[in-house]
Each structure stands twice: as structure tokens, then as C-alpha cells.
Structure 1
Amino acid sequence: MSVLVSVEGAGVVLGGRQALHDVSLQVGAGELVGLIGPNGAGKTTLLRAVLGLLPCTGRVETRGAVGYVPQRHEFAWDFPIDVAGAVLTGRTRAMGRLRRPRPADRAAAGRALELTGLAALRRRPVGELSGGQRQRVLVARALAAEPELLLLDEPFTGVDVPTQDLLNELFGRLTAEEGKALLMTTHDLAAAARTCQRVVLLNRTVVAEGGPEVLADPERMLRAFGLDRAMGGVSA
């Protein structure tokens, strides 16, 4: 199995406090790995460190193109752009900021729209979308970059059941058929148990990892979700 992200002994300090310490994990091609932990555990911080957006100690390495799906509140939904335009922004790195989209860029964005069931909404302003549709736009924008590694921050939060089902099916296709590596933070333990090949319990450091059965282990779940009270909260 080809390893697409490798983190060894990573640490991040935010605002003078240790947000992450001695974090080690790997995600390989064809894997969907769930990153589970309480609020303030450092899940989003870890994704941003993998993206190179935060300085960290230790070693973080990625292979191939990386796509990122942020939490919905991080996108400017009042910006005057339609669905197709928003998804096409996922090609900015490939295009360059001042270049016009090439046929290959439009084709990649078009495929992402098809994969996420948004093709019929391509001309709708993003400000008119429902919460589930907005989540699919963020996933499509990340997929437009044609990544080998996809980082997802709480993709199931606040979405309806049909959107959850669509995303679950899509994530399974991306891993099983296309060999992509997915690292996903989520508070939805049931969804993680159904869809993830592995889960990593995080509370500033890796508390436990293994198959979905880890989520049914009371001792390890208590360690992951109980440590936060003893150590004090740090924003994720």
C-alpha cells in the first residue's frame, strides 16, 4: 500500500499552548481514516498542519496532489458566484491565479460536479443552496483539484440524510475504485463506524487507533474523550 500522508512526532503550539504533541499516523492509498475526538482535541489543527498551513515540529509528508474540504462556515457563501464557478476555484493551483481556465480545468470541474450530483445546479448562486448542497460544493471543489489525498473537516455536520448517503457512497467509490486516501474528522461516530476502514482517536495526541471496533471500546473512548477535561480545552 502506497502511503500518501505520513505524520511522525508532530507537535503544534497555538497561542502559547500545546495544541498537538507527538502525533504519528499514516494514511495509505485506498483508505478512509476517521479522525475522532472531542471539541478542542486538535483535529482541525492536524489537518491544517498536514496542509502546511501551520508550523509544526516533527515530520509531515504528503505525496501527490492534496484536496481540502473545510467546515462550511469557512466559505464565503454570500460571494456572488454560481456552483460551477465555486467548484472551478478548486483548480486555482493548477491554473495559476491570473490565467483563464483551460479545457482540462473545466473538464476536471465538470467531473467533480457529476460525482457530487451537482451538475443540474451548476448555474445556481451558491447563496441559494441548502446546507447539504453547500457541503457537496465544498467536496466538489476539492475533487476538482484531482487529488490523491483528500482531507475532510466534519463533512457530515448539519447535512440531511440523502446528502450523508451520497457522500458515503462517493467516499467509498473514491477509495475502493480510484485508490484515493481520505482523512476525515467527524463527530458522527455511527457514520465513522460504517464507512471508515480505520479510526484514530485524537486528544492532542493519538490515544488509540485501529478498526471501527475501537469506537465500541469504552476504555479507549473514555481515554479519548475524558483527557480533554483533565488537560483543559484548546480550540481545534
Structure 2
Amino acid sequence: MTEASPPPSPLLEVDDVSVTLGGRPAVEDAHLHLYPGDLLGLLGPNGAGKTTLLRAVLGLVPIAHGQVRVGGLSPARTRHLVGYVPQRHEFAWDFPIDIAGAVLSGRTRFRGLLRRTRPADREAVDRALDLVGLTALRRRPIGELSGGQRQRVLVARALAREPQLLLLDEPFTGVDVPTQELLNDLFGRLAADGKALLMTTHDLAAAARTCTRVVLLNRTVVAEGGPRLLADPEQMLRAFGLDTAIGAAA
């Protein structure tokens, strides 16, 4: 009799994590696991702690209690496994650099700040630009880009790190429909290739179409399940409040 294969180990483990900012709780007792092939949508109202939770995974904010593990290791030891796409306003778009240079900056962990670019760096940048459809524009200054093009630059910059885990903070905010469709397709392909993606978003429709699982967060995890969870008015009421719950039920 053939033995069953052991279940896969989670790539990301967030266990009972709480974060306090400015003396106030920002995240409380949050718990989620992310596996290779997952595209998990993290949804909740403004101020729910979504970005704070991503930063806790990155090791950028201190954890009051609980633990985060990526590949079984603490965040300080796993930065080589993680790619991060921040919200667009967090990037210095007035810096005098072109698209290829911005994407190359994602390779700093390999090169160091002052080291020469290696063939492996150039190849990683080329692959990332091809994935987001920016190869032909690689020499365009980043200050001349549209909102959708800037979002693709940030995604390429994260992918140039060749991560196993990709964290995306509101990747669909303020982008045009073609860019959203391109990114939806790309994120699905990355998950199918065994990457794990954790995406914060306010776009319920995009999450329902794209994500394999969703988590509703309002400081703590309110509910977790498949995309159909977004059509459950009771859970949406708990996470978002009356207006969103009515809209989800309609």
C-alpha cells in the first residue's frame, strides 16, 4: 500500500502575533499560515492592521508577543526569501533613475550598496521586467511613468529578489484596468509555480476572482476561508461594518 505524502510545511507562520504602535494595539493575537501555491488576500477596513501585519512579517516593527516564521526561521534570518511590494507613495519616484535601475535596486541584498552588478543580477532584472511587460521601457526615467507602470516597477523590483514569499500591499490601488488584469494573471501564475503570495487589498471583487483563500482582519483575524467568504454577510459585517456587509450580500 502506497504511503500518503506528508502535508506541505507552511512557508509563512504567523502565530498569535500582537503588535503595539504608539502605546495602542495595532494587531492582536493574529494567526495565519501560508503555503507554497497560496494567493491569500488580507482584507479589512482602514486601520485594521493589514500593513502593520506585513511589516511584522518583514521584521520592520517589533512584535509584542507571538511569533513569525518564514521557512521555519525568524524574519531577521529570512529576508532573502521575501519580496515586498509597498504602496506606491512609499517609493521615491523623483529619484533620477530609470526602470531597470529601480528594479536592480531590489538586488541590494546580493550586491551590497557599492558592489558591481553581476551577470546574475542583470539576468534577474531581465526576467522580472519581462514578467511585468516593461522590457521595452527599461531605460525610461521612473519620474515619467504612469500609476500603472509604477506599480509594475515595484512588482518587478520585488521579483528581482527571486523570493519564495511575495508580500503585496494594496497592489491594485489607483491602477488602470489593463494593469490590474496583467497583475491578476501574473499573481496567479506565480502561485501556480509554487510561490506564496500575501496581498492586502480593498478590492473585494479582485480578491474574489484572484485569491485562493482570504482572511478578514480587524486588528485580529475575524474569519478565514475560500473566496466565497466574501459573500457571507455575517462575516463581512463583523469585519467591515454594515455598509460593506449589505453590499456583499446584494
Q: TM-score under structure 1 normalisation?
A: 0.94
Shift of 1:79: 0.4
1:34-90, Cα deviation, whole Å (9 max, x unpaired)? 000000000000000000000002010012610000000000000000000000001
Q: Distance in 1 between matches of 2:155 and 2:201?
A: 15
**1:101 alignment partner in structure 2:** 117
RMSD: 1.0
Shift, 1:98, TM fit: 1.9
CA offsets per residue over residues 105-150 of structure 1, 9 Å max, x none? 1100110000000001100000000000000000000000000000
Distance in 1 between residues matched to 2:220 and 2:58, nearest whole Å: 18
CA distance in 2 between counterparts of 1:152 and 1:130 reads: 19
In structure 1, the residue matched to 2:160 is 144
Look up the SS of the partner of 2:16 in the other structure.
strand
Secondary structure (helix, strand or coil) at the match of 1:101 reads coil
The CA distance in 1 between the partners of 2:112 and 2:70, in whole Å, is 21
Residue in structure 2 matched with residue 169 of structure 1 by the alignment: 185
The equivalent of 1:234 in structure 2 is none
Q: How does 1:1-236 map to 2 (within 5 A)?
A: 1-56=8-63, 57-63=65-71, 65-176=81-192, 178-226=193-241
* AA aligned opposite 2:16: G
Structure 1 stretches of 5 or more lacking a match? 228-236
Return the alpha-carbon distance in structure 2 between the equivalents of residues 190 and 94 of structure 1.
Answer: 37
Superposition deviation, residue 5 in structure 1: 0.6
Bigger shift: residues 89-98 or 70-79: 89-98
Instruction: State the alpha-carbon separation in 1 of the partners of residues 153 and 129 from structure 2.
Output: 8
**Offset of 1:2 from its aligned partner?**
3.4
Secondary structure of residue in 2 paired with 1:141: helix
Secondary structure at the residue paired with 1:134? helix
Looking at structure 1, the residues matched to 26 and 32 of structure 2 have their Cα atoms a distance apart, in angstroms, of: 16
% same residue: 77
Aligned residue number for residue 5 of structure 2: none
Q: 1:148-207, CA deviations, whole angstroms, 9 ceiling, x for partnerless residues?
A: 00000000000000000000110011011x200000000000000000000000000000
Between 1:201-210 and 1:56-65, the stretch displaced more is: 56-65
The whole-number CA distance in structure 2 between the counterparts of 1:190 and 1:226 is: 17
**4+ residue runs over 2 A deviation:** none
- 3-state SS of 1:9 partner: strand
